Each structure stands twice: as structure tokens, then as C-alpha cells.
Amino acid sequence: MTDLTALTLEAALAGLKAKNFSSVEITKAHIDACMEGADLNAFITTDFENALVAAKASDAKLAKGEGGALEGAPLGIKDLFCTEGVKTTAGSKILGAFKPQYECTVTANMKQDGMVMLGKLNLDEFAMGSSNETSAFGSVVNPWKPEGKNDEELVPGGSSGGSASAVAANMCLGATATDTGGSIRQPASFTGTVGIKPTYGRCSRWGIVAFASSLDQAGPITRTVKDSAIMLQSMAGYDPKDSTSINKELPDFSVACDRSIKGLRIGIPKEYTIDGMPGEIDDLWQQGIEWLKDAGAEIVPVSLPHTKYALPAYYIVAPAECSSNLARYDGMRYGVRVDGEDLNDTYEMTRAAGFGKEVRRRIMIGTYVLSAGYYDAYYLQAQKVRSRIAEDFTNAWETCDALLTPTCPSAAFPIGRPVNDPVQMYLNDIFTVTANLAGLPGISVPAALDKDGLPLGLQIIGRALDEETVFAAGAALEKAAGFTAKPKKWWV
Ligand code: GLN
């Protein structure tokens, strides 16, 4: 019998429809895979009992030839999405045993379409991080290992590390993720998976725990570009409950994956290379250019002159918004409370006990850059830089239709690598934050293995609302790269 966990989402949905196997069968196969992979620590909460109930309900629908676009498919949900009656932690201790009484719009859409939810996936605390090491529930382990170094454990990237690891290890057919500065694309690059951050406003933020509201965007992590298109189609859509949600008809993302890129103008921004970046990443970028050329694209050099200011601007805007968003965790309404001598003391003790080091650092930076006297020098300045970065892209779109860049400046690195300097960690996001600051769609597609046998991704960034071109170019890269490598299964 075929290994049902090795199927793409697309093939699984077709197989379910054709009744080659049932949802209960494919769900059970994934539950087994999740149990085998427990050491990867990808899940914070599993919900297998309800998954089987949902699978049975899907089978009943499928038997009648009914069912939605994700009917019967076992998927994972990043634990930042509020799910009714299922513990939601945001990777933090501060929420305690919080069980939302409501369902966020994205997962509501997916449930409406018939998804079977296996559980809630691990992440950096409040999605702040690039390695999943800031989670209060422990690091997630990357299923990939450097060749010949079997005792080394690598990070899966962050903040959607659980999502990336679970998809790469065939524990679910696809997973939701969120991307504020790169948290879909960087973990996808580190685990040989595909991840797309759509245009800001495509997916409703309603019911997703907020990190930095003007940057946060949900999207899928999957094993193929087509699978990402299928999942995004279900996740996205207008929602009046999110005032920044885009009220525009969704194009057919799957159809876009099959579109030819003949004549498409691909811009190569000269600023997307940094000192100390491995030569292999530059080589892969060149290879990507050749692949797209062979597929009929026209390559144009472009300049995005404010790129070097993107990371500093992001690390002002994101902490500023986080300090405001996280002010609500005061021990009065949610989760953890540590009683102090008076109200202020209670606030302080609660927040000191509930938040981890990285979240506290961000709150302090954010509070500082928003405080009287520093607001103009930092926050306002960063907002101006943000406008310049958006303008850079607008100018680039005069000569090209999409951009090709590396996703990250490195491959996955070892868990516990000493990080005395947080800026070193922040550098992971150097090629991804720009798309968040400008609200643009970006996809990471696995393109090659490095000299240690670890996956590397290439990124396509597109115009706002033009995910179709991003999918088309992403699918062309995927086809040319022919990336079929899988991590060796050492975790059983
Ligand atoms: N790594 C970035 C950060 O720590 C991005 C996180 C994200 O996209 N959620 O802020």
C-alpha cells in the first residue's frame, strides 16, 4: 500500500475524492507519523480524537460526492491561530491554559472546506524568533541533519518551526503559518518546503494572536507550490472582522501555478547579497536566474537602494507594535497571574514570569522607541524608511514583474548555537523583511542542497495582489530545480 503520508496535498485530495482511501485512513497514517515524530517536538497540542471525528464526517460527505476544497485532508495549525475549544498558547507560558471560545477566520475557512486538524504546532514565543528556540515549549528539531553529523540537531527556522518541521517530516500534508518578517519563508527554506506569505490583507488576521499587526500575515507551508496554492485558496478571502482585510475576489491560485512565464520580466536586485554569505547561496541565485531564463523569462538588473535600512526599520516597527499588542497580557484577563503587593507589582510579576527573554527584550525596545523624546528619532524615522522601501519596489515594478532573491543568507544552523548577540539572529530575516514592510507577496521554493546536504530556498517577490505571478514563477523554479530530496528518517 502506498505511504499515505508521502502524498502531496493535491494527490491526497484527488485520492480522497476518487475513494482510493478514506479520510480516516489517511488521518490515522498521519497520527502514526506524528507519534513517531514526537521527538521533533513539532506539536504543542495534538487533537487526534477530534481529528478522527472530523475524518469520519469528511468520509460521510465524500461518500455522497460532497465536500469542500480540503475535504478530509489532515493538516496542522500553528499555535498562534485561535481554535475553538483547543488550547492556544502562542508558544508562551503567559496564556496559561487558554482555550479560545471562538475560531479564527483562517481556520474557520479551512474547517468549512473540510480540513481535518491534527493539532497545534510549536513556534517561537509570540512568533518572535528565527529558530524556534524562544518557544516556552522547547525547541523544534529540524528533520534534516548535516551529512555525516548524526548527533547534531538543527533548528527548523522560525517562527513557524513546528509547521515547517511537521510538513518536512510528513506529519501533516500542509500547515498554516504566519509571517511578520519571514516566519513562513525562512523555515520553509531551512526544511526543504514551500512557503508563501501572501499580500498583506489577503488572509484575515481576526483571531490570530497579534505580534506586529501592520506586518503579520498568514500563509501555508507545504511540500509543493501547487499545494500552497490549494491551501492559500482556502485560508484567504475578505473578512469584515479585520479592517485591513482586502475586499477583492480571489484569483484561482492553482491555475496560476500552470501559467507560462514566457516573457515575464524577473528583476535581480543587486542589494540582496551580504558579507559573509556562503558562496553556494550566490551560486544558487545565479542558477535560479538560468532556470527562469530557460523557462522564457527575461532577466533585468534592478536596484532597491534602501534595502540596507530594512532590517533596522523592521526591528523598530515590529517591537513597537509588539509592545502595544502585548500590553493586554497583564494577568487580569488571560492565563497566568502572579500576585504582587499591589496592582503594579502584580502586572510586573505576571509579565516577568509569563514572558520569555526574547519577548521581554522586544517589549522593552518597543516601549523605548515609542516613548516621548525617542518617538521621532526612532519610530517615526523607521516609518519613513518603510515608505522609502515600498517606493523602491514601486520603482522596480516599472521594469520588472517579480523579483528573484535568495530566501535566507544561510542554511539551517545547530540548535543552541551560542547567540550572545541577538543581532546575529536578526540577520536571518535580511531578505524577507522587505516584503513585509511593503506588504508584498513572497514565496520560498526549495532549490538545492548545500555542501552539507541541507536545503536552500530561493524567493520570488511580486507586486501587491499579484500572487498569481509569484505562484507561476515559483512553480517554474520548482520544476527546473526538481528538488526531490527528503530528510533521512532518523526520528522513528
Ligand atoms: N524572525 C523575525 C522576528 O523575529 C520574524 C518573525 C516572524 O515573521 N513572525 O521578528
Q: What is the per-residue pLDDT across 208-262, written as a single tens digit (0 to 9) for each?
A: 999 999 999 999 999 999 999 999 999 999 999 999 999 999 999 999 999 999 9
pLDDT at 32: 98
Residue 256 to residues 229, 233, 245, 276, 467, Cα–Cα distance (Å): 8, 12, 22, 36, 8
Q: How far is the CA of 271 from the centre of ligand 1 (A)?
A: 21
Which amino acids are annotated catalytic?
Answer: 78, 159, 183
The whole-angstrom separation of Cα 429 and Cα 184 is 11
Q: Is 126 near ligand 1, meaning CB less than 6 Å away?
A: no
- Cβ-Cβ contacts under 8 Å for 362 (sequence gap 6 or more): 128, 318, 319, 322, 323
Q: Is 159 near ligand 1, meaning CB less than 6 Å away?
A: yes
| Side-chain half-sphere CA neighbours of 152 within 13 A | 15
| Residue 198 pLDDT exceeds 80 | yes
In three-state secondary structure terms, 447 is strand
Atom of ligand 1 nearest to the CA of 212: 9
Nearest to 96 by CA among 288, 296, 350, 401: 350
Mean pLDDT of the chain: 97
Q: What's the start-to-end Cα distance of the chain, in Å?
A: 20
Handedness of CA 145, 219, 429, 121 (dihedral sign): negative
Q: How far is the CA of 188 from the centre of ligand 1 (A)?
A: 13
- Cβ-Cβ contacts under 8 Å for 201 (sequence gap 6 or more): 217, 242, 244, 245, 246, 439
In three-state secondary structure terms, 446 is strand
- Mean pLDDT score, 29-38: 98
Q: How far is the CA of 48 from the centre of ligand 1 (A)?
A: 29
pLDDT at 250: 97
DSSP H or E stretch at residue 153: none
Residue 268: strand pairing partners: 301
The whole-angstrom separation of Cα 423 and Cα 311 is 10
Residue 492 pLDDT class (50, 70, 90 cuts):
confident
Mutate to test the pocket of ligand 1, among 125, 131, 159, 361 (most ligand atoms within 8 A of CB): 159
The whole-angstrom separation of Cα 115 and Cα 83 is 13
Residue pLDDT, tens place only, 110-119? 999 999 999 9
Q: Is 318 near ligand 1, meaning CB less than 6 Å away?
A: yes
pLDDT at 160: 98
Q: Is 130 near ligand 1, meaning CB less than 6 Å away?
A: yes
- Total-model pTM: 0.98
Residue 1 pLDDT class (50, 70, 90 cuts):
low
| Residue 329 pLDDT exceeds 70 | yes
Residue 456: strand pairing partners: 448
DSSP H or E stretch at residue 371: none
- Mean pLDDT score, 139-151: 96
- Mean pLDDT score, 283-299: 98
Nearest to 124 by CA among 162, 169, 72, 83: 162
pLDDT at 425: 85
Q: For ligand 1, atom 5, which residue shows the shortest CA distance? A: 181
pLDDT at 423: 83
Residue 478 pLDDT class (50, 70, 90 cuts):
very high
Coarse DSSP helix, strand, coil percentages of the chain, rounded to the nearest 5 percent: 40, 15, 45
**DSSP labels, 154-185:** B---SSSHHHHHHHHTTSSSEEEEEESSSTTH
User: Burial of 1 by CB count in 10 Å (0-12 exposed, 13-18 middle, 19+ buried)?
Assistant: exposed
- Mean pLDDT score, 462-475: 98
Q: Is 429 near ligand 1, meaning CB less than 6 Å away?
A: yes
- Mean pLDDT score, 390-396: 98
Nearest to 122 by CA among 94, 155, 153, 160: 160
| Residue 309 pLDDT exceeds 70 | yes
Residue 419 pLDDT class (50, 70, 90 cuts):
low
The whole-angstrom separation of Cα 205 and Cα 108 is 12
The whole-angstrom separation of Cα 157 and Cα 188 is 8
∠ CA 440-441-444, rounded to 5°: 130
- Mean pLDDT score, 480-489: 97
Q: How far is the CA of 491 from the centre of ligand 1 (A)?
A: 27
CB 264 within 8 A of CB 298: yes
For the chain, give the percent of residues with pLDDT over 90: 95
pLDDT at 277: 86
Q: How far is the CA of 129 from the centre of ligand 1 (A)?
A: 5
Query: Could you give all domains of the chain from N- to C-terminal order, each with its CATH number?
Result: 4-264+401-481 (3.90.1300.10), 308-380 (no CATH)
CB 109 within 8 A of CB 234: yes
| Residue 310 pLDDT exceeds 70 | yes
313, amino acid identity: A
Nearest to 288 by CA among 464, 19, 44, 474: 474
Residue 192 to residues 361, 401, 458, 472, 476, Cα–Cα distance (Å): 31, 26, 11, 19, 16
Residue pLDDT, tens place only, 201-220? 999 999 999 999 999 999 99
Mutate to test the pocket of ligand 1, among 79, 92, 128 (most ligand atoms within 8 A of CB): 128
∠ CA 324-326-329, rounded to 5°: 130
